[in-house]
């Protein structure tokens, strides 16, 4: 889902909360200051943040989300895909002044294979995903360090939900294979 943002008219909830907290902090400081210096003046300076911003969130906000694929005993290497245990929401934001627009690029590094701690590995390219909205399109991890997934022009907020799947095309040593991919959202 893509929401176009009007930079000069839109104030996000985060900005409102931050502004209120800033005002509160200044008020507290003013009260403390007033005890000793009742003649001090107060100056409010409310800004609209930096002129440009990018933001990315993958899964949960406060920790690294994990998607697990559990292959059944009688299905190892059968070619029947195995769905992940949870879907992952991906949020992107890029905003910039209309006079100085930016383009954001989303890439993913999946170059490090999953490993079972005993020397056996599974390439991350054995994992694919289906996108619910398609803004960040369905695809497979390429197993490379710089796979481009999407690009968007400012100012926009993008949300998509990915359902991951293990292709299950080969037989691998038994074990629990762990790995990690890193999404990078950048505006050059």
Partner 1 sequence: MNIYIKQTVTAVFLCMSSCLLYGVQAETGSVTGGPDGNMTSSARLKLRVIIPRFLQFQVGSPGTSVDTISFQPAADTVGNGVAVSGTGGDASSGSGASVVLRSNAGQITIVADNDGGSGGLGSSGSISLSEITALSDSSDLQTPQLSDSGATTTTATPTGGEVTDRRATWSYSYNNSRAVEPGSYDAEIVYTAVSP
User: SS3 of 11, please?
Assistant: coil
Minimum distance of partner 1 from residue 81's CB (angstroms): 12
E strand or H helix at 16: helix 13-36
128 within 8 A of 141, measured Cβ to Cβ: yes
Minimum distance of partner 1 from residue 177's CB (angstroms): 4
Count interface residues toward partner 1 (CB under 8 A). 77
Q: Does 175 sit near partner 1 (CB under 8 A)?
A: yes
Strand pairing class (103-109; 82-95): unpaired
Nearer residue to partner 1 within complex by CB, 2 or 74? 74
Piece in contact with partner 1 (CB under 8 A), picked from 23-31, 131-139, 144-152: 23-31
Nearer residue to partner 1 within complex by CB, 3 or 60? 60
Minimum distance of partner 1 from residue 104's CB (angstroms): 8
The tokens describing 19, both together, are 């502004």
Reported for 70-79, long-range contacts at CB under 8 A and 24+ positions apart, including other chains, are 71/166, 71/168, 75/168, 76/168, 76/171, 76/172, 77/168, 77/169, 77/170, 77/171, 77/172, 78/168, 79/167, 79/168, 79/169
Nearer residue to partner 1 within complex by CB, 1 or 25? 25
Sequence-separated (6 or more) residues with CB below 8 Å from residue 163: 83, 84, 87, 129, 130, 132
Rounded to an integer, what distance in angstroms lies between the CA atom of residue 89 and that of residue 78?
29
Piece in contact with partner 1 (CB under 8 A), picked from 130-138, 142-150, 177-185: 177-185
String marking each residue 131-160 x if it binds partner 1 according to CB under 8 A: ------------------------------
Considering only residues 26 through 85, tell me which ones interact with partner 1, judged by CB under 8 A. 26, 28-29, 32-33, 35-36, 49-74, 76-77
String marking each residue 85-104 x if it binds partner 1 according to CB under 8 A: ---x-------xx--x-x--
Nearer residue to partner 1 within complex by CB, 4 or 180? 180
């Amino acid at each position: 889902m893509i929401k176009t943002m009007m930079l000069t008219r839109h104030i996000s909830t985060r900005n409102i909360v931050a502004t209120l907290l800033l005002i509160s902090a200044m008020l507290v400081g003013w009260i403390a200051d007033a005890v000793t210096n009742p003649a001090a003046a107060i100056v409010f300076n409310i800004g609209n943040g930096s002129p440009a911003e990018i933001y990315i969130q993958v899964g949960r906000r406060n920790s690294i989300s994990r998607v697990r694929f559990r292959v059944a005993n009688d299905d190892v290497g059968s070619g029947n895909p195995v769905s992940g245990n949870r879907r992952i929401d991906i949020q992107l934001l890029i905003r910039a002044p209309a006079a100085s627009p930016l383009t954001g690029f989303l890439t993913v590094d999946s170059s490090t294979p999953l490993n079972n701690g005993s020397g056996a590995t599974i390439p991350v390219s054995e994992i694919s995903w289906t996108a619910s909205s398609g803004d960040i399109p369905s695809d497979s991890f390429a197993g490379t360090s710089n796979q481009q997934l999407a690009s968007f022009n400012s100012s926009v907020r993008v949300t998509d939900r990915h359902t991951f799947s293990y292709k299950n095309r080969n037989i691998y040593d038994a074990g629990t294979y762990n790995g990690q991919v890193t999404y990078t959202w950048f505006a050059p």
